[in-house]
Structure formats: C-alpha cells, structure tokens
Structure 1
Amino acid sequence: MPRYELFYDHACPMCRFEMLRLKQRDIHQRFTLVDISSANFDASSAAASLPEMQTLLHIRRDDGQIFTGIDAIAALCQAIGRDWWTGPLKWQATRGISAWIYSHVARHRYRISVCLGFTAKCDSKTCQI
C-alpha cells in the first residue's frame, strides 16, 4: 500500500479540519500531514515550491508521484476507500468544473472558513488560531 505526504495549510481552519478528518479515516496510517504554514517548514525538499503549495493541495506518494488539486483529492479518497466519490473529479464532462470549483475554494479558503463558521478572525491571507 502506498504512503502519502499531504502538504496543507494548517493556518486555514477549514483545511486543518479537512486534513484531520481525513487522517481519522486513515486506518492504515499511510498519511503524513505536513504543515506548509509552519515556521519550521522547509520547502526545499517538498513536493513543489511554497507559492504553488499555497495555491492548491499537493500530495506526494512514496513512489515520488505528485498529485495536485482535484487529482490529489481523488488519490486520497481512493486511498481511504472512498473512490466512489471521485467520479465527478475524473469524468471528462465534470472534470473542468470540478477543477474550477476547487481552485476557487482553495484561493478563497480563509474567507470561506469564516462563512462556514470555522473562525471569526480571518482576513484574505491568514486566520488567527
């Protein structure tokens, strides 16, 4: 079974919630969460540059393959046995709109966190934890 490094923005409450929820479903302990917002984060050995990782979710499988955006979500869902959910992310007819929706959510994740009630102290770049 492959192992995955998940490069995510822990400063984003919605992102943190989703990654911790995903980790709870990781019954085989194949996911390692890597906080790209940490002061100790070293992007030199990461899946991509820090600005790229701040734009879309990045994961690296233990064979070195990098997945981003909706492909990363699909790979993670498949790894936890939820591949039935990934159809719209892969189907030709819905892939474009799925990617657009995901990129919009990722770009506005701090404001969306506020709207969803994750925190009341967010601006367009960061959230107070």
Structure 2
Amino acid sequence: MKLIIFYDSSCPLCIEEMRQLQKHNNQQQLSFEDILASDFNQRFPYISITDASTVLHGLYFPEPQQSPQLLLGLDVTYLAWRSIGKKRWIALLRWPIIRFFAD
C-alpha cells in the first residue's frame, strides 16, 4: 500500500500535519507532494491545484499492479494515520452517520 498526499506548503496547519505524519512514516508508505512546487502540473497534470488547495487530495495505491484511487478530504486523513498506526480514533469520522457531518 502506498499513499501520496498532496498538500499546500503555504498552509501552516497542512505543514504541521505533514510533519507529524512524516515523523511516524517509518515504513515509507506515505509520500508527500507540495501542490505549490514549480513542476507540480507537469508531474501531476490530473490533480487540479485549485481543487487540491480547497480539499485535501491523495492518491491511494492498494497494490503495485492496481490503478490508483483518488481520495479526498477526511478519507485521505484517515488512511494516512491508519497506515502509520496512529490516531485510530479518526476511524469514527468515517462511520456513515458521523461521516455525513464530518465531511
């Protein structure tokens, strides 16, 4: 499993969350891409910078041979923290009734 998280390096909250995730990313299952990088559009033409600056985007690769899945918002946050074994409580935000309000 691999997850690419697209974050905004001009957002202090985003930077802090990415820093926390990187600190626990011992298996290197997460990678981080700054949507403000000068070559971002060339490397990820299918990710809208405008959309990604509004809602967190992630590309999830369940298996090496499978096509990636685009995840948005709390789905990215949940999968990121789950993959490093931290903040298990975030799973509550994905429960159907809570998900509606959390999203």
Q: Could you tell me the TM-score, scaled by structure 1's length?
A: 0.67
Gaps of 5+ in 1: 100-129
Counterpart amino acid of 1:29? Q
Gaps of 5+ in 2: none
Cα distance change on mapping 1:43 and 1:90 into 2, 3 Å: farther
Q: CA deviation at 1:84?
A: 2.6
Residue 98 (structure 2) aligned to one of 94, 103, 117: 94
Kept in 2, the 8 Å contact 1:77–1:85? The answer is no
Counterpart amino acid of 2:39? N
Partners of 1:73 and 1:15 in 2: CA distance: 11
Partners of 1:93 and 1:83 in 2: CA distance: 20
- Greater share of helix: 1
Counterpart amino acid of 1:80? I
Partners of 1:31 and 1:9 in 2: CA distance: 16
Segments of 4+ in structure 1 off by > 6 A?
none
Cα distance change on mapping 1:55 and 1:43 into 2, 3 Å: farther
Q: CA deviation at 1:47?
A: 5.4
Q: CA deviation at 1:53?
A: 0.7
Cα RMSD for the two superposed structures: 1.9
Q: Could you tell me the TM-score, scaled by structure 2's length?
A: 0.82
Cα distance change on mapping 1:9 and 1:98 into 2, 3 Å: same
Partner of 1:85: 89
Which of the two has higher C-alpha Rg? 1
Partner of 1:118: none
Kept in 2, the 8 Å contact 1:4–1:31? The answer is yes
Question: Taking every aligned residue pair, what percent have the same amino acid on both sides?
Answer: 27
Counterpart amino acid of 1:89? L
